[in-house]
Amino acid sequence: MRLFASPRRAVDERLLWSRDTRFVHRLASFVPGARVLELDSGAIVIAPASELTELVAHSIAREARSPEFGVVTVDAELPEADRYLMALSAAVQMSGLAERIGMAQTTQVIQTKTLDYFFSLRKLHAVAFQPIVELAGGGLYEYECLFRPNMPMLPQSIASIVQAAIDTDRSIELDVFIIAAILERAGQVDDSRRATEAAPLRFAINVTPPSLLDPRFEAAAFAALVRDAGIDPRNVTLECTEQQAVADVDRLRKAVKALRRAGFGFAVDDAGAGYASFALIAALRPTVIKIDRDIVAGIGRDDAKQALVEAFVSFGRRIGARLLAEGIEKRADLAMVTALGVDLGQGYLLGRPAAEPAPPRNMDKLRSLAARRVARVAAGRAISDPTGSARRGARATD
């Protein structure tokens, strides 16, 4: 269905839908360049975004006894055949009348359309780089590559996109799409570093278990893909972001072993949460175990969390894996995970995601600040508890 031909020159447009056709026609009479189309379900008006503003629409709506309507920006990045239909669907949903007029959509239909829209916007999405730090020495270990979707007409988080892909059985398609974009961007970063004779960086890239069993992620094929991007597989850690139970652990273990032989590092993400169990981690033998951020948050004052991380540290040493604490945002938590023997750290306290890889914050300064805070808290407890029964640093706060 083709609603309108696009304007000859590029103009940002908005589309408004309402069941009240008189309201739509009256609105159009006040908006220069407006085009009206009557539908079985109501009517739409399309006009330059600079003219069809929210203020104008609400002003006319008040005069027309406030009819319900939805107004959205038309996404010019979409093919002409799709952009107005997508805008119409979004406007109807925004009006709150979708169920009443028979345009309500099931969750899976909405997720499918959301993914289709996501895949159509390849040029708009971005990649951010967040530093991962050696906690003992403070040096940079690698950068996690974080994919940032940019969907102007239907803003979504990467978490919602991933969940939509899982629910519609498109997680492999999503991984292929995202990893191609990440490799392209990471390759550009390394190219610019080579131009200044700087050493190449290490990158961590997220991937779901089903993709690791797909032929496109077979070790030799994937290593070739990474090299084509100008990156050495030895400088890439694959993070297994498990959000589903692994059906075939033995096949996954063999695939991971082959990737390790090809030079890739391998990390299990969100340890201590969901399906990332000790048994699974032991079977996969990762190089890095990432401790879930919910465990790290507040660990400076939580005995149970401290005990769990101690167990992970001991477990990691037995299987030759390094521990990484995610989501470090407080100095007390940084001090605690370091004291517990965690090797690596990541979080806003150490460095935020950025469009260009930026160095992490100075660890010596952070440790000094944390030590002073812990000492002040301990001193305060000693004064309030002269018998010495206060536990050492157990309630350090930031």
Same domain for 304 and 196:
yes
Mean residue pLDDT of the chain comes to 85
Q: Where are the alpha helices (DSSP H) in the chain?
A: 21-29, 54-63, 80-95, 107-119, 158-167, 171-195, 209-212, 219-228, 249-261, 278-284, 293-296, 303-319, 331-339, 363-384
Same domain for 184 and 318:
yes
Q: How many domains does the chain have?
A: 2
Q: Cα(72)–Cα(153) distance, rounded to whole angstroms? A: 7
Interval 128-180: pLDDT, tens: 999 999 999 889 999 999 999 998 767 788 988 998 898 899 999 999 999 99
In the predicted model, is pLDDT for residue 292 greater than 50?
yes
Q: Which two tokens stand for residue 312?
A: 């992970």
Q: How far apart are the first and last CA of the chain?
A: 58
Per the model's pLDDT, the better-predicted residue between 273 and 256 turns out to be 256
Listed residues 76, 104, 132: the one ending a domain: 104
Query: Among 66, 173, 69, which Cα is nearest to 118's?
Result: 173
Same domain for 90 and 63:
yes
Same domain for 189 and 43:
no
Specify if 297 maps to a domain: yes
Specify if 395 maps to a domain: no
Specify if 179 maps to a domain: yes
Same domain for 210 and 292:
yes
Give me the CATH number covering residue 60: 3.30.70
Interval 112-142: pLDDT, tens: 878 988 998 888 999 999 999 999 988 999 9
Listed residues 53, 80, 104: the one ending a domain: 104
Per the model's pLDDT, the better-predicted residue between 40 and 169 turns out to be 169
In the predicted model, is pLDDT for residue 384 greater than 60?
no
pLDDT band at 397 (very low <50, low <70, confident <90, very high): very low
Same domain for 233 and 207:
yes
In percent, the amount of the chain with pLDDT more than 70 equals 83
Specify if 110 maps to a domain: no
Same domain for 372 and 276:
yes
Give me the CATH number covering residue 261: 3.20.20.450
DSSP class of residue 277 equals -
In the predicted model, is pLDDT for residue 197 greater than 90?
no
Listed residues 72, 104, 136: the one ending a domain: 104
Helix axes 21-29, 54-63, angle to 10 degrees: 120
Same domain for 263 and 169:
yes
Same domain for 275 and 224:
yes
Interval 24-39: pLDDT, tens: 999 999 999 999 988 8
Q: Which two tokens stand for residue 151?
A: 């969907």
In the predicted model, is pLDDT for residue 267 greater than 70?
yes
Specify if 7 maps to a domain: no
Specify if 2 maps to a domain: no
Exposure on the CB side of residue 260, measured as CA atoms within 13 A: 14
pLDDT band at 244 (very low <50, low <70, confident <90, very high): low
pLDDT band at 391 (very low <50, low <70, confident <90, very high): very low
Same domain for 301 and 239:
yes
Same domain for 339 and 310:
yes
pLDDT band at 89 (very low <50, low <70, confident <90, very high): confident
Per the model's pLDDT, the better-predicted residue between 394 and 355 turns out to be 355
Per the model's pLDDT, the better-predicted residue between 201 and 394 turns out to be 201
Domain that holds residue 34: 13-104
Same domain for 153 and 56:
no
Please give the pLDDT value at position 387: 55
Specify if 5 maps to a domain: no
In percent, the amount of the chain with pLDDT more than 90 equals 54
In the predicted model, is pLDDT for residue 393 greater than 50?
no
pLDDT band at 395 (very low <50, low <70, confident <90, very high): very low
In the predicted model, is pLDDT for residue 6 greater than 70?
no
Q: Are the CB atoms for 251 and 223 separated by under 8 Å?
A: no
Specify if 220 maps to a domain: yes
